[in-house]
Amino acid sequence: MNKLLSLGSKFPEFTKKTVVSIENGKEFSTVSNEDHINGGKWMVMFWYPKDFTFVCPTEIAEFNHNYEEFRDRDALLVGASTDSEFVHLAWRKDHKDLKDLKFPLIADTSKSLAESLGILEAEEKVAYRVTYIVDPQGIIRWVSANDLSVGRNVKEVLRVLDALQTDELCPCNWEKGQETLHVA
């Protein structure tokens, strides 16, 4: 397993197939690292282990519930796993909470991006629950990794994105609208 790609690193270049809809003829698209850089946007990419599992849809649904919050912060929101685009599509059609997703699900079937990020679990070679916040220049500014059995906190991802976007010093438990620290 590669070492976990972390803070200050350049996010790897990628172009991947995605599922963007369950409407016939409009299901698939592609996404690349250039999409957020060329758009001058932040990118929030969250990885999950497998489709048709139990914890994963709770996270994906919560990210979807907060999609407008990410969009309002000029952040491209992207979900990803090592499942194929066809499995993503079947799962979206099958699971009531995933039918109307507003963001793409990356199909990293070659596992090349997950491997470059160093987030593959050793035995099954599925991705750990890892969230990246990448700035508009393509630099990783935040990484959070969870064990396969523990879901992440989407509100915390938004809080950290807010803090990073202030480009100021933010104290413990800081939330948007609160004072930042000023060094005399």
Beta bridge partners of 46: 79, 131
Instruction: Mark 87-99 as b/e (b = at least 16 C-beta within 10 Å).
Output: bbbbbbeeeeebe
Cα distance between residue 125 and residue 19, in whole Å: 21
Q: Could you give the C-alpha distances from 108 to 33, 40, 120, in angstroms and in order?
A: 14, 24, 11
Region label for 183, one of left (φ > 0), alpha (ψ between -120 and 50) or beta (otherwise): beta
Q: Is 56 a catalytic residue?
A: yes
What φ, ψ does residue 161 adopt, rounded to 5°?
Answer: -60, -45
Active-site residue, from 20, 43, 56, 78: 56
Residue 146, C-beta contacts closer than 8 angstroms, at least 6 positions apart = 128, 129, 130, 152
**Active centre residues (catalytic):** 56
